[in-house]
C-alpha cells in the first residue's frame, strides 16, 4: 500500500514530533508499505523518509523543480518524481496514494490534506484520510468540522471518511479496517 504523508519541512519545537514521525516511518517500512511524501531532506520530512528507508521500505518523493533548485531534495530516496509546481505535486501525490495521513504541519500540510478531505467527502476518493492528532494538534480542526455539521453546511455522512488518530496504533487500526 502506498501511504501518502503530508508534513512539514521544519522540525517543530516539540520533541514528540520527531519521535512520532520516526515511529510512523518505521511502521510504514516494516509493515511492507511504501511512503509517498514531498521529497524533502529537511525537518520532519527528512526524518520520515530516513526512518522508512532504515526499516527497509521504499520512498517516493514528489517535489517541484523549484525545491530541487533550492537543494532541498533527499537524494537517497527510492524514487523522485519532479513536478513543475505545487498543484501538479498535489495531484500526483493523491494519484499515488492508497491512504493519506496529515502529520502535524504548517499551512502547506493543511492545504494538501484539505484537498484530500474534500475529495473523500465528495466520494471522489475512496481511501482513509487520517489526521494524526498527536497531543491534540488537530483538535481545533476537528471542532471546526463538527461546527460545519452543526451549522448544516456539511453532514456526518460526508465526514465519515475523515478520521482523527491520537497515535500510531489508531492509524494502523483505521488503515487495517479500511481494507
Where in the chain are the domains? 2-178
Check: CB of residue 44 under 8 Å from CB of residue 77: no
Q: How confident is the model at residue 29 (pLDDT cuts 50, 70, 90)?
A: very high
Q: How confident is the model at residue 179 (pLDDT cuts 50, 70, 90)?
A: confident
The reported pTM is: 0.96
Beta bridge mates, 4: 36, 100
Closest by CA position to 108, among listed 39, 167, 47:
39
Q: How confident is the model at residue 67 (pLDDT cuts 50, 70, 90)?
A: confident
Q: How many CB atoms lie within 10 A of CB 150?
A: 9
Give pLDDT, residue 71.
Answer: 80
What does the pLDDT look like over 86-130, one tens digit per residue? Answer: 999 999 999 999 999 999 999 999 999 999 999 999 999 999 999
Check: CB of residue 93 under 8 Å from CB of residue 2: no
Q: What is the mean pLDDT of residues 78-87?
A: 95
What does the pLDDT look like over 136-178, one tens digit per residue? Answer: 999 999 999 999 999 999 999 999 999 999 999 999 999 999 9
Does the domain at 2-178 match CATH 2.40.128.280? Answer given as no
Please enumerate in sequence order all residues whose Cβ is within 8 A of that of 84, keeping only pairs 6 or more positions apart, or say none.
64, 65
DSSP assignment of 81-97 equals: EEESSHHHHHHHHHHH-
Amino acid at each position: 500500500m502506498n501511504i501518502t504523508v503530508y508534513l512539514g519541512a521544519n522540525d517543530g519545537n516539540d520533541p514528540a514530533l520527531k519521535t512520532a514521525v520516526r515511529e510512523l516511518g518505521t511502521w510504514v517500512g516494516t509493515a511492507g508499505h511504501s511512503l509517498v511524501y514531498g521529497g524533502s531532506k529537511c525537518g520532519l520530512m527528512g526524518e520520515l523518509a530516513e526512518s522508512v528507508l532504515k526499516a527497509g521500505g521504499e520512498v517516493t518523493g514528489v517535489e517541484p523543480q523549484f525545491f530541487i533548485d533550492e537543494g532541498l531534495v533527499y537524494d537517497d530516496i527510492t524514487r523522485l518524481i519532479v513536478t513543475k509546481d505545487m498543484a501538479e505535486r498535489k495531484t500526483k501525490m493523491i494519484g499515488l496514494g492508497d491512504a493519506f495521513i496529515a502529520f502535524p504541519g504548517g499551512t502547506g500540510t493543511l492545504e494538501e490534506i484539505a484537498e484530500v478531505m474534500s475529495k473523500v467527502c465528495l466520494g471522489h476518493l475512496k481511501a482513509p484520510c487520517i489526521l494524526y492528532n498527536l497531543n491534540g494538534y488537530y483538535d481545533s480542526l476537528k471542532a471546526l468540522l463538527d461546527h460545519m455539521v452543526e451549522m448544516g453546511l456539511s453532514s456526518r455522512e460526508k465526514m465519515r471518511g475523515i478520521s482523527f488518530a491520537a497515535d500510531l496504533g489508531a492509524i494502523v487500526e483505521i488503515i487495517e479496517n479500511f481494507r
